[in-house]
Structure 1
Amino acid sequence: MYKSKARVKVRYAETDKMGIVYHANYYTWFEIGRGEYILKAGMTYKDVEDMGIMMPLVETYCKYIEGAKYDDDIIIETFIKELSPVKVIFNYNVIREEDNKLLANGYTSQVFINNDFKIINLKRSYPDVWEKLYSLYIDK
């Protein structure tokens, strides 16, 4: 299974009064991770949406293990945990680069829909997009 690695540096604006990253920012980092992952499939998130494929979140989860702090270099490791023709579950590991410490992990569950907000079978409706994602999912 392919794992993408996106890097971010914690900005001061992402921290709270305690000096650690505010919890909602992890979901922004998850989005960065998804974007990097999809790039490996040879397309951008915008390309996917321009084709008429949308991927709304239907479930999210994040377990916070240790807080990231201002100026930390962070790696967002992203991989597909589950892929079906109608749904994808991305998993994320948020790692502090300096000591390889796992700071948080989580997932997002998303369905494939069209511009009319109807669930689509990606494998049948967009076989080339399906194949690109599936090849990364099964990559050993």
Structure 2
Amino acid sequence: MQISTKEIEVRYAETDQMGVVYHANYLVWMEVGRTQLIKDLGFNYAEMENEGILSPVIDLQISYKMPMRYGQVAMIKTWIDYYDGIKVIYGYEIITPDGSTSVTGTSSHVCVKKDSFRPIRIRKLFPDWHEAYEKAKKKEE
């Protein structure tokens, strides 16, 4: 299983009145992690969009364990938790500077045609992506 990492410095604008990162910002960080994983696998999501294919979120799960604060550096770990040629579930762990888990989560995606929103088979239209995802995904135990 391939795990990509990406550091993000917590900006003041990402915090709320309690001085902690506003909960929705973790979702943005998960997207940053997902983009990094795709890049690490040798692909570019924008190129897929240019070919008329989108990858919307169809399900999202997130668990908040410990808040992050302004000035800290978050480490986003991202991997392919599940992949079957049509649906992809990305896994995430956001780590605090001392190594504690701040957030865990998953996001589920399917690829669809931009004009009709009809699902496509990744393995058929993007065989390179399919092969890379098969190699990088979490192995079943």
TM-score (norm 2): 0.93
**1: distance between equivalents of 2:108 and 2:54?**
13
Residue 58 of structure 2 contacts residue 110 of structure 2 at CA under 8 Å; is this kept in 1?
Answer: yes
Q: Percent identity?
A: 34
Give the AA of the match of 1:95: I
Q: What is aligned with 1:107?
A: 106
Where does 1:5-44 land on structure 2 (aligned, <5 Å)? 5-44=5-44
Give aligned pairs, total.
138
The 4+ residue runs of structure 1 with deviation greater than 3 A are: none
1:1-140 mapped onto 2 (5 Å cutoff): 1-96=1-96, 98-115=97-114, 116-137=116-137
Task: Pick which of 49-58 and 66-75 moved more.
Answer: 49-58
Shift of residue 135 of structure 1?
A: 2.1
Q: TM-score, normalised by structure 1?
A: 0.93
Q: How many angstroms apart in 2 are the aligned matches of 1:123 and 1:81? A: 17
Distance 2:131 2:113 in 1: 18
What does the per-residue CA deviation read over 1:73-128, in whole Å, with 9 as the maximum and x for residues that have no partner? 110000011001110000100001x2111001001000111222110111122212
CA RMSD, 1 decimal: 1.3
